[in-house]
Amino acid sequence: MNISFESKRILVTGAGQGIGRELALRLSKYNGTVIALSKTKSNLETLKQQNPRIQTIVVDVTDWEATRNAIKTILPIHMLVNNAGVACLAPFLQLTESQFDLTMNVNVKSVFNISQVVAENMIEQKCAGSIVNVSSQASHAALKDHSVYCASKGAVDMLTKTMALELGPHNIRVNSVNPTVVMTAMGKLGWEDPKKARSMLEKIPLGRFAEVDEVIDAIVYLLSDRSSMINGITLPIDGGFLAT
């Protein structure tokens, strides 16, 4: 794919590590202005050392007002990737209220909050936009010890569809990507144990987990004009897991 995001301002949340960090680095190759948002300052400092052209912004997305104010300082944004996420894994009967609230605040409420500010400005500026939410295969399939994570990603998928419905008439497309396990810090949390990994790998027809670049390729495609008629989809990147 020949991609150019020249003159575009692109915001990636959760860009301190994992998928978001690699995504920010990849997007910086397409000539746009990349803004990397995350919670831990030191992660963004090392990202900036890796590529000084990437702008960074430190904010905890669970803080509604601080997040809104931070986003307002970097408008306009033409492309947004809502990638920040947490996974609190526990048996359903043991999951605590604080784990529930943290998961919903980061994985769902922040997507709502940040997208609202960004999309409102896109509409004011009368500019087309593309928003990609990083969901998960866990939005469609129940995974043991993942009750609140699955619920949060189910909510992300419906938010994706409702945003696509309401923002489409303003020429703002909204889609989600739904990866299987990727061996980031989060992936290792749930699937580093070989026994658990095997049980998941056996259900993936391609017989392996996803690579970070395979998720990034799909996000870049959905951000770009190459997907100009695609709006409201939840795209599995799962080697066929959800097909079985």
Within residues 150-179, the interface with ligand NAP by CB under 6 A covers 179
Region class of 162: left (phi > 0), else alpha (psi between -120 and 50), else beta: alpha
Tell me the C-alpha distance between 79 and 67, whole Å. 17
Cα distance between residue 191 and residue 196, in whole Å:
6
Say how far apart CA 238 and CA 141 lie, in whole Å.
Answer: 12
- Given candidates 28, 33, 38, 115, which one binds ligand NAP under the rule CB under 6 A? 38
Q: Does 153 participate in catalysis according to the annotation?
A: yes
DSSP H helices, 138-180, are 147-167
- Residue 149 falls in the annotated catalytic set: yes
Taking the complex as a whole, how short is the minimal distance between the CB of residue 136 and ligand NAP, in angstroms?
A: 4
In sequence order, the β-bridge partners of residue 173 are: 130
Pairing of strands 9-13, 234-237: unpaired
Active-site residue identified among 153, 196, 203, 221: 153
Residue 33 CB, nearest approach to ligand NAP (Å): 19
Q: Select from 9-17, 72-80, 115-123, 218-226 the region that touches ligand NAP (CB under 6 A).
A: 9-17
Binding flag, residue 32, ligand NAP (CB under 6 A):
no
Whether the ω angle into residue 76 lies within 30 degrees of 0, i.e. cis, is yes
- The whole-angstrom separation of Cα 179 and Cα 208 is 12
In 3D, which of 97, 125, 132 has the Cα closest to residue 111?
A: 132
Task: Check binding of 139 to ligand NAP (CB under 6 A).
Answer: no
Check 30, 149, 161, 196 and give the catalytic one.
149
Closest CA to 3 of 24, 28, 25: 28
Binding string to ligand NAP for residues 88 to 127, with x set by CB under 6 A, is what? ------------------x---------------------
**Nearer to ligand NAP among residue 18 and residue 239 (C-beta):** 18
DSSP 3-state of 134: strand
Q: Taking CB under 6 A as the rule, which mask of x and - marks residues 198-237 in contact with ligand NAP?
A: ----------------------------------------
Beta strands in 128-233 (DSSP E): 129-134, 172-179
**Is residue 130 a contact partner of residue 172, using CB atoms and an 8 Å limit?**
yes
- Residue 181 as a binder of ligand NAP (CB under 6 A): the answer is yes
Choose between 83 and 130: whose C-beta lies nearer to ligand NAP.
83
**Closer residue to ligand NAP, CB minimum distance, 165 or 185:** 185
| Binding of residue 17 to ligand NAP (CB under 6 A) | yes
Which residues are identified as catalytic?
149, 153
Binding site for ligand NAP (CB under 6 A): 14, 16-20, 38-40, 43, 60-62, 83-86, 106, 134, 136, 179, 181-182, 184-187
